Structure 1
Amino acid sequence: MTTPTTSASRDSRFVPLAGTHNFRRVEGWQTPQGARLRSGALLRSSGLEELTRGDTDRLDALGIARVIDLRSTGECAADPSNWHGAPPPTWRGATCAAAANLATLIKGPPLTLDQLEGELMGVYAAFPIDLASALRAAFDALERDDGALLVHCAAGKDRTGFVIAMILRALGIREEDVVADYLMTNESFADACIRFQKRALLAGMEARTPGAVRLMLSASTSFLDRADRAIIAGWGGMDAYLEEVAGLGRDRRDAIRARLIEA
């Protein structure tokens, strides 16, 4: 497992907000040819249910044109996003049956850490299907909207991490930068612990399975690799997956790259 960074020194892509953690700009990552993902087009975050008015003012200044909320219907109902004023148009509709099964397991009998890790691997293996509709919505937004796209889930780690990784790959960003963006979640590990320890479920899980909190709130390349293996097994490779399941053929990909990648 990758060791999370807990230093107060944090990448400048992070946007400090009072009511959420792991909110950051996805920008500056490079293609193999040295072109860069432009600033202001793509954002990612954890849940937005505790946003303050000051947070909303800051988000308004980012020019968010659309939100992709990857949480389940139940999560959205239990913890609705707390926009002060009119929120941007928001897509919801991710199924994530595997993630829902994991939540059920967490509430059930104690699991060993290895069992919990195995279940989380299963969640990632299911992401290519579970999050296909979210990817289609994200690419539609990137193709037509002029403002920023914000992608978020509850922790901003797993579901968001997968979707953002797929977007970066579709844009031709070099793999080391895709991985760096995914692992950057670990810089917000301490904040994630503070936020989620307010919830009895997480505290109970840690009591039953020591080490569970670190496993659940840390990003590790082994999980993203599991999703990649599922894509290779099911579709033969990333290009075929993006075209067949996410609706992103070569022409659309080139059009989106032209909008988001700059020399």
Structure 2
Amino acid sequence: MGKVTSQSSTEPRWIDLEGVANMRDVGGLPAADGHTVQPGRLLRSDNLQDLTPEDIRLLIERHGLTDVVDLRSDVELRITGPGPLRDFDTVVHHHHSLFPDDKEIDTRDVLVLPWHDTDEPKLHDNARASHYLSYLARRPDSVAAALEVIATSSGATVVHCAAGKDRTGTVVAMALSVAGVPREEIVADYVASTERTERIVHRLERLPGYSDNLRDVPMTAHHSRPETITRVLEAIDADYGSVAGWLRSVGWSEDQIAALRDKLVA
């Protein structure tokens, strides 16, 4: 593999709300055939538990939010409880955990992961990429379902997990790949979460179930490195030809793939 970069001509479209640390709209990224990913179609975020009434008003009225894809585990949901968006009938919630059996998962499995135990960047990237690929191997139903929501929602979909960078980063990178976004732009979008690392970690440290797991983990262990998502996408290409090929392997039709692409760029 050649040198990996995260250079992008597109600045992240941050959505700065009081109750989140890592929310942005992926609109504005270049896509295939001269198209551009349209704003107000796909948002990505850390968890939504702390949204204020004003945050919610802005998401619904300014950003057109209609659907929420929550990638967190059942355990995480039980610990933190339902978020305030649950009170709004105009927003549809979709819970698609990326873990195979939530009864056997605790938050250490979510937040204290193999790459936290090494200072070697290559090992760090390999461990994280392998973990991301396990989502596809162990919960292809949830990955495909999350992408289906993006394709079929009536307005903007926000995809989120706890930090908004690993589980969310994998699903968003796959969606952008189907839309024909150049690889370097997908990588740059993934890496952008590093700008918010301290905010993400400090926010999670205040939430029950996360604080103990984050203790003594260096801040750099939470960075979103370009090599990681590059390895994931290259592995998908090697095994399936493309993200679209992976979707075909789990039963998607050409019409469904086209619907996802069109939702993001049309």
TM value normalised by structure 2: 0.79
1:126 aligns with 2:128: no
1:257 is displaced (CA, Å) by 2.6
Partner of residue 205, structure 1: 216
1:98, distance to aligned residue in structure 2 (A): 10
Within 5 Å, give how 1:50-69 maps onto structure 2: 50-61=50-61, 62-69=63-70
Which residue of 168, 181, 199 maps to 2:189? 181
CA distance in 2, matches of 1:243, 1:133: 13
Displacement of 1:59 in angstroms is: 1.8
CA drift of 1:80 comes to 2.7
Partner SS state of residue 18, structure 1: coil
Pairwise CA distance, 1:237 = 4.0
Identity %: 27
The residue type equivalent to 2:45 in the other structure is: S
Q: Aligned ranges for residues 2-151 of structure 1 at < 5 Å?
A: 11=11, 13-61=13-61, 62-83=63-84, 85-86=87-88, 88-97=91-100, 100=105, 103-104=108-109, 106=112, 111-114=117-120, 119-151=127-159
Change in CA separation of 1:170 and 1:248 when aligned onto 2, cut-off 3 Å: farther
Alignment match of 1:252 (pick from 232, 256, 265):
256
Higher mean Cα deviation, 37-46 or 90-99? 90-99
Shift of 1:239: 3.2
Aligned-partner residue type, residue 106 of structure 1 = V
| TM-fit CA distance, 1:116 | 6.4
Structure 1 position 35, deviation (Å):
0.9
Residue 240 of structure 1 aligns to a residue whose secondary structure is helix
2: distance between equivalents of 1:96 and 1:165?
19
Measured against aligned partners, the alpha-carbon deviations of 1:196-228 in whole angstroms (never above 9, x if no partner) come to 34353245232xxxx3x3212x11122213323
CA distance in 2, matches of 1:191, 1:252: 37
- Bigger drift between 228-237 and 162-171 goes to 228-237
Q: Alpha-carbon deviations, 1:3-48, whole Å to 9, x = none?
A: x9xxxxx946111111111111110111243211111111110011
Q: Return the offset for 1:152.
A: 0.3
* Alpha-carbon separation, structure 2, partners of 1:131 and 1:152: 16
Provide the secondary structure at the position in 1 that maps to 2:13: coil
Q: TM-score, normalised by structure 1?
A: 0.80
Superposed CA deviations along residues 91-144 of structure 1, whole A, max 9, x for unmatched, are 113242599588249399x94444766643431231222452233223332343
